[in-house]
Structure 1
Amino acid sequence: MSFAAQRSFALLASARSSFSRFYTTEASASLLTRLKDDRKTYMRSKQQPDLNVVKSIISDYTYFVKSPNAPTGHSEDAMVLSVLQKSIKKRQDSIAQYTAGGRPELAANEQEELTILKRYLPEQMDAAAIEEKVRALVEQIGATSMKDMGKVMKAWTVDPATADRKLVSDAVKKILA
């Protein structure tokens, strides 16, 4: 077999393995896989704001994983959700600062990016559901004053990806006040 034939055979074999790796039919693909697939889709359809946001999340995730203080023992989805939540908080802070600074056009850009990011989060609990769970937790612990807020927050076991910690904190303050 000639060198050219061996090389083309090797390329064909690697193409088959990469085809099966990228085009899986799994129903529950990871969040990172979903982001990478969306990046390809946005590149092909030239959806610039969506593409920029997805690329920035993938980049932030890569830096997060390679950083020396990256957490170990967490799932890939948990780490991607952590990066997503940090990006969402950055966007929310930017919106507040741009609005306060009288720059509504920049605040609108950040708001657009925020809506793109929220597509990748799991279903969020609303304030009423959070308050109901906090009331039950306060009764269970026996918290009576604001001094017990730390105990309540420590006992809160709902995933932070589904219930924003700030909303939980606000509900605890409202109930214990």
Structure 2
Amino acid sequence: MSFVAKRSLALVNIARPFSSRFYTTEAASGNLLNRLKDDRKTYMRSKQQPDLNVVKSVISEYTYYIKSPNAPTNHSEDAMVLSVLQKSIKKRQDSIAQYTAGGRPELAANEQQELVVLQRYLPEQMGAAEIEEKVRELVEQVGATSMKDMGKVMKAWTVDPAAADRKLVSDAVKKALS
């Protein structure tokens, strides 16, 4: 066996315990993160560059998010991935608005394509009518009567933020209390 072959075999044996640790514990614990990683592999194989770039950026942002000192420790992995997804979606929506206002429709179209890719990973969104109905029920449960009670209603809202945009919920609460 040549020196190069022995050296590469030794490197593989050294790296094996570390790589198996990362792939077995981290990937097995979260459903949404696994889906992102599987899609990354699929997009790499099929050379779908725009979709691949979006998925890689979300995985990268998630990695930075969990390593940051102010990352929540009591949330599930899926909740943290959804938080990163929502931040990415918000960035894309802001960029679309700015590019459109600045007269750059080609850049707005690129951001719109990325937004569509990101929205594939969100759970099914609640409609405006469904949100208003739940808010009305919640206002009755809490006993809210005026805009001063808006904080109570918002605090009592328990629906997953990924399923119902907080801005829509806030607007529905304002409408119900006014």
* Common fold: TM-score over 0.5: yes
Please list the CA deviations of residues 54-99 of structure 1 after superposition, one character each: whole Å capped at 9, or x if unmatched. Answer: 0000000000011111111211111100000000011111111111
The answer to whether residue 144 in structure 2 is matched with residue 146 in structure 1 is: no
Partner amino acid, structure 2, of 1:52? N
Match of 1:125 in 2: 126
State the Cα RMSD in Å.
2.9
Distance 1:145 1:76 in 2: 37
Partner amino acid, structure 2, of 1:108? A
Shift of 1:22: 6.9
Higher helix share: 2
What TM-score results when the alignment is normalised by the length of structure 2? 0.84
Distance 1:66 1:130 in 2: 34
Unmatched segments (≥5 aa) in structure 2: none
Please list the CA deviations of residues 87-146 of structure 1 after superposition, one character each: whole Å capped at 9, or x if unmatched. Answer: 001111111111111111111111110000000011111111110000000111111111
Distance 1:69 1:11 in 2: 35
Distance 2:75 2:173 in 1: 28
Partner amino acid, structure 2, of 1:87? S
Distance 1:128 1:104 in 2: 32
Match of 1:42 in 2: 43
Distance 2:74 2:141 in 1: 31
Task: Say whether the 8 Å CA contact 2:33–2:81 is kept in structure 1.
Answer: yes
Match of 2:100 in 1: 99
